[in-house]
Amino acid sequence: MSVAIDTRPLDLLADFPAIPTGWAYLDTAATSQKPRPVLDAITRGYGETYATVHRGVYQRSADMTLAFEAARERVAKFIGGKPQETIFVRGATEGINLVAECWAGTQLEAGDRILLSTLEHHSNIVPWQMVAERVGAFIDVIPLDPDQRIDLDAMAAMITPAHKLVALAHVSNVLGSVLDAKRACQIAHSVGAKILLDGCQAVPRLPVNVVEIGCDFYVFSGHKLYGPTGIGVLWGRTELLDAMPPYQGGGSMIDRVTFARTTYAPPPGRFEAGTPHIVGVLGLHAAVDYVDDIGLARIHAHETALVAQAREALSQINSVRLFGPDDSAGIVSFAVEGVHPHDVATILDEGNVAIRAGHHCAQPLMDALGVPATARASFGVYNGADDIAALIKGIERVTRIFG
């Protein structure tokens, strides 16, 4: 039986005190603004309940440890995983580097191949280049299809048993194009390759279940999910994490230390050396609760409607070139003919509209698109039709200024 989705526009701007009246914040793909429940959780964590975790025997430390591990359970449930498979990291970048170092760096051999795509963020390119150079592996790149999505037919045609790892964005941070993640995993597994998905842009916008998708690793950052900076998540299959060496040495990640030999804790502790970002974890818990209370299906419907409205309005301006598919998830990239995106963003800022302009940490994609940079408007739960109207008014001013 299908479940009806509430498609009414969201009206949550009042939950975000850092967005003043009249400011159109359209840079959520870079980082989201924070709702009051997250701010309250952070304030309470530092101002009322703060203590270290996993070490203290006094009551407040024990209570904070319970809260910390409850957050792990909540985050794991949010993406369909298990707590012991859920590792807290500083962000998706650290999560990818951890897999590159501790899995790829120990499993790949000279001549092995890694498969990426044209639209990947630098954080999902550079770590693989570093490990490939070290072990003598090679990198292949999946092209985009005419709709500017990762071409999975091309992926199926080019993948071979020599490919040991595939790493792809679940949602493009530039184009908003959504990967058919389940099919990508099936293609990877057809030759025995492991697959990592970069979920930074997906987790705030789409329901994600790592088990149903079938991936081997999944990463995302808290600050794009209405949570704090400095906290993110790496999820990995139990058998893979169990076989991986630690990423860093220090406190908490050990079982027993002597000068002769050290043994390590099981995952996830093995990969969480040092004092963790305790209050960041509490803030992430609050962010997950906030998003779940709204409903990801409803968030996706809201952002899809905003994307459709923005693309339709921008398409009416002759000098604007749109990138990405029509059904992109919460993100609209565009260029104004004859105007550098930085100039577009500067003029928009004069009208209290905040967008991102640049290569978006995706220079290979810019090369494929044939542009040095794009302007990008990205939406969140706090955006509405007024923000799109302000965006369009600003673009019309850009075209008047530059003729």
Beta pairing, strands 113-117 & 138-142: parallel
The whole-model pTM stands at 0.96
Task: Choose among 221, 392, 288, 324: nearest CA to 37.
Answer: 288
Distance CA 111, CA 235 (A): 27
For residue range 235-255, what is the model confidence (pLDDT) as tens digits? Answer: 999 999 999 999 999 999 999
Average pLDDT over residues 171-198: 98
Helix then strand count (H, E) for the chain reads 14, 15
Q: What is 39-292's CATH number, 3.30.70.20, 3.40.228.10, 1.10.10.10, 3.40.640.10?
A: 3.40.640.10
Q: Which CATH architecture does the domain made up of 13-30+295-402 adopt?
A: Alpha-Beta Complex (3.90)
Q: What is the mean pLDDT of the chain?
A: 96
For residue range 57-98, what is the model confidence (pLDDT) as tens digits? Answer: 999 999 999 999 999 999 999 999 999 999 999 999 999 999
Where do the domains of the chain lie? 13-30+295-402, 39-292
Candidate from 8-22, 101-115, 378-392 with smallest mean pLDDT: 8-22
Whether residue 21 is predicted with pLDDT greater than 50 in this model: the reply is yes
Percent of the chain with pLDDT over 70: 98
Whether residue 3 is predicted with pLDDT greater than 60 in this model: the reply is no
The b/e string for 373-395 (b: 16+ C-beta within 10 A; e otherwise) is bbbbbbbbbbbbeebbebbbebb
Average pLDDT over residues 313-322: 97
pLDDT at res. 348: 98
Whether residue 1 is predicted with pLDDT greater than 50 in this model: the reply is no
For residue range 91-131, what is the model confidence (pLDDT) as tens digits? Answer: 999 999 999 999 999 999 999 999 999 999 999 999 999 99
Whether residue 177 is predicted with pLDDT greater than 90 in this model: the reply is yes
Distance CA 271, CA 261 (A): 18
Q: What is the DSSP letter of 13?
A: G
Segment 41-48 long-range contacts (CB within 8 Å, at least 24 positions apart): 41/279, 41/282, 41/283, 41/285, 41/286, 42/228, 42/279, 42/282, 42/283, 42/286, 44/282, 45/278, 45/279, 45/282, 45/283, 46/279
Q: Is 361 a catalytic residue?
A: yes
Of residues 45 and 7, more confidently modeled: 45
Please, what is the end-to-end C-alpha distance for the chain in angstroms?
55
Could you give the dihedral angle defined by the CA atoms of residues 231, 99, 139 and 223, in that order, rounded to the nearest 10 degrees? Answer: -10
Catalytic residue among 102, 185, 215, 361, which?
A: 361
**pLDDT bucket at 5, cuts 50 / 70 / 90:** low
pLDDT at res. 4: 56
